[in-house]
Amino acid sequence: MRRIGRRVAIWASLSLVLLAAVASLVLVQSMDRQIGDMARTYDVRNQARELTIALSETESSQRGYVLTRDDSYLQTYRRAAADIDASVLALIAVTDDDPSRAARVNDITGDIAAKIAEMARTVDLVNSQRTAEARTLIQTGMGERLMDEVRAALEQFISDENQNLLDRNRSIDTMRLSLVGAIVAALAGAVILAYILFTRTQREVTALAQNRNLLRSEKEELESLVRERTQAVEEARAHAERERERVEALLQDSSHRIGNSLATVSSLLGLQLIRSKSDEVRQALEAARSRVHAIASAHRRLRLGDDLETASADDFLDAVLEDLASTVTGTKAVTLTGEIDPIVIGARDATTVGILVGELVTNALKHAFPEDRSGTVTVRLRRDADGVPTLTVTDDGVGIAEDSQPGEGGLGSVIVKQLANQFGGVPQYLRREGGGLSVVVPLPGIDKNVSPPA
């Protein structure tokens, strides 16, 4: 009977330990689900905020155009309207897996469509020389009411997402506490059963009583230390996860804030450009505005990887080229294309590479296509035969005269040279047969600045 009881106690202890291991796995899975849920919610909120910003920019530029009939407001309006469409599609994409979210987004997009139609109506009236009717339509307040409704709906949507995230976190925290309790209970049961077996053995083997007592004391100390270490590890892991999520959110938010602030500076430069009468001052302001806009685009378009230290060149630069195509080439019949390989770039270098691309593209558009000449500008980032990342910007414009030295004299060339030097490269200006120019910039420093994976 004693042997049977001992075997039963052993199997019971093993079962409790197995139960503790299963509970630990369930706890880890619940934490993974929580992290994924928070990431999706942050994505939904960010898309909703970007949509709100795009709507506000569209409305302000539409009103500015109706009141002043300034073409720069019309260009801003069209660009912002395109951003609204992109933001709506992105918001629909991140909510299509949730029917309730998708239904709310569908209602909001209906209101947005009505607001866009109202703004398009006033712009069409101005373009048709019916400015008085357009201003009358604005003075009715219908557009303002539509905008307030859309903005309120988006703010409520974001608030509901925050509340839903808090509710889900509370539920998962409750489950986590229950699982931790089950783990502690299972371990305690295993310890109790082990203690029972130990005391029975003590009664049977009296000759080893002293050694058994010493062993039991050391065993209990070790178990206490293991429990303390286990609890410390769990707390440290939970703290690390919270810090990682907080840092990731702060990084994304700071990048957006920096980009939006620089975009505001670009808009202010644009307003000053409109008011300036000196051609020299206008050219300087236009160059400064283009560079500030390139820096703003680089910050807003930066998306870091899971390690929060690197970014993929194809995702990042393709987005930057979209911004350049929608702003810089707006008045020129020039096509901007990109052929970017998925090269890993350090977070500190990604913005610099984006500024370098913006400077090269802006220089090509400024000098290669005079008098509204049409053409194509191609941006490539690939590894050469030696594996060195190489940036190439090629145009089929008028090229450079034979008696001119490429890459000398202009401020843009100086900026390109300084930016290339940061990566250990020297820009090369090559004349193309049949017209045009190709600027080749080796960037060996990109690989040196990327830390190896842990």
CATH of the domain at 435: 3.30.565.10
pLDDT in tens, 352-373: 888 888 888 888 888 888 877 8
In a domain, 67, yes or no: yes
* Residue that is last in its domain, among 204, 219, 241: 204
Let me know whether 420 and 308 are in one domain: yes
Domain check: are 198 and 307 in the same one?
Answer: no
Within-domain flag for 262: no
- Condensed to tens digits (0 to 9), the pLDDT of residues 223-244 reads 888 988 888 888 888 877 777 6
Q: Is residue 210 part of a domain?
A: no
Kindly tell me if the per-residue pLDDT of 315 is higher than 90.
Answer: no
For the record, the structure tokens of 225 come out as 């230390």
Query: Nearest Cα to 111, choosing from 80, 74, 140, 149?
Result: 149
Domain boundary among 144, 174, 204: 204
Residue 154 pLDDT: 78
Q: Establish if 101 belongs to a structural domain.
A: yes
Query: Which has more confidence, 297 or 130?
Result: 130
Amino acid identity for residue 66 in this structure: V
In a domain, 108, yes or no: yes
| Domain's final residue, options 204, 233, 260 | 204
Instruction: Place 161 in a pLDDT band, splitting at 50, 70 and 90.
Output: confident
The pLDDT assigned to 130 comes to: 82
322 belongs to a structural domain: yes
| Same-domain check for residues 200 and 313 | no
Residue 388: predicted pLDDT: 92
pLDDT of residue 453: 46
Q: Output the pLDDT for position 188.
A: 79
Kindly state the helix (H) or strand (E) to which residue 311 belongs, with its residue range: strand 310-312
CATH code, 60: 1.20.120.1730
Q: Find the helix packing angle between 2-68 and 99-127, rounded to 10°.
A: 10
- 379-431 pLDDT, tens digit each: 999 999 999 999 999 998 888 766 666 656 577 788 888 988 998 889 998 88
Q: Is residue 214 one of the residues assigned to a domain? A: no
Within a domain: 66:
yes
pLDDT of residue 380: 93
Q: What is the residue range of 18's domain?
A: 1-204
- Whether 186 and 316 share a structural domain: no
Structure tokens at 120: 């398009």
Instruction: Please state the domain count of the chain.
Output: 2
Q: What is the mean pLDDT of the chain?
A: 77
Judged against a pLDDT cut of 90, whether residue 331 lies above it is answered with no
Q: What are phi and psi of 438, to 5 degrees?
A: -125, 125
